[in-house]
Chain A
């Protein structure tokens, strides 16, 4: 596709349920990032992938959060046993480091997660 896509665009879930958020990066982009943004706040880094490996998972808030990337393309962010404080917009971005502008990240539209 032409840009980064994310699904679902909106997700409402009940406290304690598991959720999966999906990101389709721009074709050929080797790096993929997940961020979280609470209402009116800046972006909070969660994790990034280079290919299928995740060199830096330091931003994951707790062990309820996990992410994987397969085939160097699609990534899934999973939140287990969701809590109300997990409510936020989850943004995915991809980039192709070393090509042209240094590490320009292209963002998807985000998934708005609401935990009731």
Chain B
């Protein structure tokens, strides 16, 4: 399982774009990159997944450079409700088991 490294915490302001970068230097060929979001007192929920280049959905964008050794989750125009912990996970599509790290605690300020 590829190890991931992401910032422990980040602060930003309402209306700003927030970018959270995750490093995964030993990512393998079959690994996908997945991000989860966890609000206080709730379980994590899936927000986006990608393999290479760029993926966008209604919640976020995920940018993955050609070497795939890092990825950046981009949240456009954040609001106070985006305050949460964001987890970056890397794993093989054939694996059932994935590992959550400590995540990035994002705090949005008014």
Write out the residue numbers on chain B whose beta carbons fall within 8 Å of the beta carbon of A97.
96
Which residues of chain A from 79 to 106 have a CB within 8 Å of any chain B CB? 91, 93, 95, 97, 101-106
Q: Give the interface of A toward B (CB within 8 A).
A: 4, 31, 33, 35, 41-43, 45, 48, 50, 55-56, 91, 93, 95, 97, 101-110
For the A-B complex with A48-B97, A104-B49 known, give 4 more contacts whose Cβ atoms are closer than 8 Å: A42-B101, A105-B36, A107-B43, A110-B42
Most buried by A among B34, B95, B97, B99: B97
Q: Does B13 contact A (CB under 8 A)?
A: no
Write out the residue numbers on chain B whose beta carbons fall within 8 Å of the beta carbon of A42.
85, 87, 100-103
Beta-carbon contact of A107 and B44 below 8 Å:
yes
Write out the residue numbers on chain A whose beta carbons fall within 8 Å of the beta carbon of B43.
4, 91, 93, 107-110
CB contact under 8 A between A103 and B91, given known A42-B102, A48-B96: yes
Chain B 66-110 per-residue mask, 1 if CB under 8 angstroms from chain A, else 0: 000000000000000000010100010101111111110000000
Q: Give the interface of B toward A (CB within 8 A).
A: 32, 34, 36, 42-46, 49, 85, 87, 91, 93, 95-103
Bound form: Cα–Cα A108–B103 in Å: 19
